[in-house]
């Protein structure tokens, strides 16, 4: 029994000692005192990283091969324009066709934005990479049903954009919609070959970006319905161009006065 | 101690305590003396990127705005240089690693994650574009990352990502504990619901407060970093990093993304309890490498007025 008491005595002391040590060490701590910040620009004064380059290389070779693949030939130079442009007509026409294929319901017309067509298509060979340049975004094709009242805003929007001069973003590319702009008046609005009816709803194919009010296209907000196709604009463009190539049809587009200034 | 405790057990117990004490004493005395690995002053270097958007190579020479600029490969060279200069480097990313160049379209993010692993990233969070190939697409390439994805307010438990991301992560550098967590942006309306599937979005402010407190108090982290993909600021009232600071406490640094904001250096804002929180963001497309250096002092007692030990210049945020 005596032994046991001694042990208890030791234990108490040992535990006390441990506790004291722990307390002392707890008192010591790292404290944040200061900070300094400066972000670094990544410019061409920096070299690429050799080891990383060895990892990238096989991917880059495969990528270049794919991107440099010629997928068709264009007969003409296509650029955006206002009130209409060859590039806008080309892309809108093909997206309109695609939407009609995808959807079970009719698609009245197509409306996109010139700001989203990022590079002209040159006359001659068209590579896959060129289409990635034209449409680098991952925007998807959506079909929006809007009221006749919102259609009036849409028509007004096209008019305002079409009379802007000297801007790359002037004009609104469309397909399946025609109108005449005379000074400040819009006339002869035709949709899918029928005269526009403000009491009717219309189904418009566009990009999800614009459908969400991008480029201040507020007339797309609060739509009657919206159909997500899940198809990317770029994929649709690529598929169309590759398809034409299979049919041995080269790329072409015309100006047909769909949006027309009457002088 | 109970009566069942036999003598033999007790001897063993005493022996264990003695060994334990010896260990603690040795460590503690080193602590007190400030020798061994523990220094009086420690500098911690936080390097960070956001919205790299698959920019593996520099922009093309004919690019209008950023010709020959940027690129993950170049960032890697700079990170390597800084690692050679500094003892304690942490490398972080605030999301939107994916999308923006054909590297992503063709390889689904595999290249980006391989390179980041090679660069020894410590952690990242997910941005909205990291969902661009769906949760499945992200999951398919995730094995290329040897660093954790920190998603504190995305609940993936009903998805195939269940258990594959972390709510928080703690890193220790020379005795300094750094707690990191990640706050993602609302996916509804931004990302197609088919892509994020059954991901549950939890309140970012609540989640931030919860994990910041956990890290600072329970895990006694010396520094708490939030990787945020909310965006730096907006004209409207949308939740941003600036608002997040005001609604939270226990966060020392927010590394932001999403708005592609270029800052010269981190900006100081004041949190819910009036304490400074740094917010930084490094543009996009690997055009900038964010950097924040933190200085720690080993102190015997809490010193609230720090001006005595360090004289901060205008560029220095006081903590």
Q: Is B78 on the interface with A (CB under 8 A)?
A: yes
Cα–Cα distance for residue pair B181/B183, rounded to 1 Å: 7
Q: Which residue of A has its CA nearest to B173?
A: A30
Which chain B residues are closer than 8 Å to A56 by Cβ? 56-57, 73, 111, 115
For testing contact with chain A, the best of B52, B74, B133 (most A CBs within 10 A): B74
B21 burial (CB, 10 Å; 0-12 / 13-18 / 19+) is middle
Q: Which domains does chain A have, with CATH numbers?
A: 61-261 (3.90.780.10)
Q: What is the pLDDT of residue B162?
A: 98
Q: Please name the residue that has the structure tokens 């093909």.
A: A94
From chain B, the residues in CB contact with A232 under 8 A are none
pLDDT at B176: 95
Q: Tell me what pLDDT residue B38 has.
A: 63
Query: How open is the CA angle A163-A168-A170, to the nearest 5 degrees?
Result: 20
Percent of chain A with pLDDT over 90: 77
CB A156 within 8 A of CB A222: no
**pLDDT over 60 (residue B8):** no
Phi, psi dihedral angles at B259 (to 5 degrees): -85, 0
Nearest CA in chain B to A12: B14
Q: What is the pLDDT of residue B40?
A: 85
- What is the spatial order of strands in the sheet that B168-173 belongs to? B168-173, B176-183, B223-228, B253-255, B276-280, B267-270
Q: Are B199 and B155 a contacting pair, CB within 8 Å? A: yes
> What per-residue confidence (pLDDT) applies to A4?
57
Q: Do B14 and A14 touch (CB under 8 A)?
A: yes
**Residue numbers in A near B298 (CB within 8 A):** 28-31
Cα distance from B261 to chain A (closest Cα, Å)? 12
The helix/strand/coil state of B16 is helix
Count of H-run helices and E-run strands, chain B: 8, 13
**Tens of pLDDT along A130-182?**
999 899 877 899 999 999 999 999 999 999 999 877 677 799 999 999 999 99
Task: Look at residue A230 in the predicted model and tell me its pLDDT.
Answer: 87
Q: Which of A34, A39, A132 sits opposite B288 (nearest CB)?
A: A39
- B70-86 pLDDT, tens per residue? 999 999 999 999 999 99
Q: From the list A8, A30, A60, which residue is nearest B176 (CB)? A: A30
Inform me whether the C-beta atom of residue B193 falls under 8 Å from chain A C-beta atoms. Answer: no
First-to-final CA distance of chain A: 119
Lowest mean pLDDT among B156-160, B293-297, B304-308: B304-308
Rg for chain B, CA atoms, rounded: 22
Q: Average per-residue pLDDT in chain A?
A: 91
B24 touches chain A (CB under 8 A): yes
Give pLDDT tens digits for A54-106: 999 999 999 999 999 999 999 999 999 999 999 999 999 999 999 999 999 99
Q: What backbone torsions phi and psi does residue A248 show, to the nearest 5 degrees?
A: 60, 40
Residue B205 clears pLDDT 60, i.e. is over it: yes
Whether B118 sits inside 8 A of A136 (CB atoms) is no
Measuring CA to CA, which residue among A235, A250, A207 is closest to residue A121?
A250
Cα separation, B121 vs B48, whole angstroms: 9
- Please, what is the end-to-end C-alpha distance for chain B in angstroms? 46
Q: Measured between alpha carbons, how far is residue B208 from residues A110, A223, B163, B214, B275 in Å? A: 44, 35, 19, 10, 16
Mean pLDDT of A9-32: 67
Q: Summarize the confidence of residues A121-128 as an average pLDDT.
A: 95
Chain B closest-CA separation from residue A187 CA (Å): 36
Weakest mean pLDDT among A2-16, B183-197, B295-309 = B295-309
């Amino acid at each position: 029994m005596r032994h046991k008491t001694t042990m208890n005595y030791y234990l108490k002391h040992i535990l006390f000692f441990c506790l004291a040590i722990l307390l002392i060490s707890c008192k010591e701590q790292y404290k944040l005192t200061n900070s300094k910040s400066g972000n670094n620009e990544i410019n061409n004064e920096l070299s690429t990283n050799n080891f990383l380059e060895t990892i990238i290389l096989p991917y880059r070779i495969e990528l270049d091969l794919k991107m440099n693949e010629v997928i068709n030939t264009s007969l003409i130079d296509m650029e955006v324009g206002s009130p209409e442009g060859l590039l806008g007509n080309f892309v809108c026409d093909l997206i309109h066709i695609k939407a009609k294929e995808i959807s079970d319901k009719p698609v009245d017309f197509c409306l996109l934005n010139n700001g989203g067509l990022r590079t002209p298509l040159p006359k001659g060979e068209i590579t896959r990479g060129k289409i990635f340049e034209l449409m680098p975004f991952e925007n998807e094709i959506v079909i929006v049903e809007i009221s006749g009242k919102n259609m009036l805003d849409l028509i007004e929007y096209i008019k305002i954009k079409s009379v802007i001069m000297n801007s790359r973003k002037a004009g609104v590319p469309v397909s399946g919609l025609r109108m005449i702009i005379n000074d400040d008046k819009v006339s002869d609005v035709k949709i899918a070959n029928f005269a526009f009816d403000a009491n009717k709803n219309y189904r418009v194919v566009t990009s999800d970006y614009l459908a969400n009010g991008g480029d201040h296209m507020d007339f797309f907000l609060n739509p009657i319905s919206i159909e997500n196709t899940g198809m990317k604009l770029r994929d649709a463009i690529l598929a169309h161009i590759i398809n034409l190539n299979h049919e041995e049809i080269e790329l072409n587009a015309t100006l047909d006065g769909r949006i027309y200034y009457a002088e | 101690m109970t009566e069942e405790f036999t003598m033999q057990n007790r001897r063993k117990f005493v022996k264990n305590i003695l060994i334990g004490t010896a260990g603690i004493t040795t460590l503690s005395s080193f602590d007190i003396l400030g020798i061994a690995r523990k220094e009086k002053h420690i500098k911690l270097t936080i390097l960070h990127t956001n919205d790299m958007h698959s920019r593996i190579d520099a922009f093309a020479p004919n690019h209008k705005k950023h010709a020959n600029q940027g690129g993950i490969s170049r960032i890697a060279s700079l990170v390597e240089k800084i690692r050679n200069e500094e003892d304690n480097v942490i490398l972080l990313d605030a999301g939107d690693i994916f999308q923006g160049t054909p590297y992503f379209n063709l390889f689904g993010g595999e290249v980006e994650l391989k390179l980041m692993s090679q660069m020894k990233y410590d952690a990242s969070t997910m941005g909205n574009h990291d969902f661009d190939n769906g949760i499945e697409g992200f999951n398919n390439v995730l094995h290329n990352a040897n660093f954790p994805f920190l998603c504190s307010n995305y609940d993936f438990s009903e998805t195939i990502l269940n258990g594959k991301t972390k709510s928080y992560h703690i890193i220790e550098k020379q005795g300094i504990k750094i707690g990191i967590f990640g706050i993602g942006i609302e996916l509804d309306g931004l990302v197609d619901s088919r892509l994020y599937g059954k991901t549950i979005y939890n309140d970012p402010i609540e989640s931030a407060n919860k994990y910041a407190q956990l890290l600072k108090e329970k895990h006694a982290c010396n520094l708490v970093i939030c990787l945020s993909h909310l965006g730096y600021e907006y004209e409207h009232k949308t939740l941003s990093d600036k608002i997040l600071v005001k609604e939270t406490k226990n966060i020392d640094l927010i590394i932001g993304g999403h708005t592609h904001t270029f800052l010269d250096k981190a900006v100081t804002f004041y949190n819910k309890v009036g304490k400074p929180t740094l917010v930084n963001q490094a543009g996009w497309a690997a055009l900038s490498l964010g950097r924040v250096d933190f200085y720690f002092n080993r102190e015997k007692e809490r010193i609230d007025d720090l001006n005595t030990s360090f004289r901060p210049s205008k560029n220095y945020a006081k903590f």
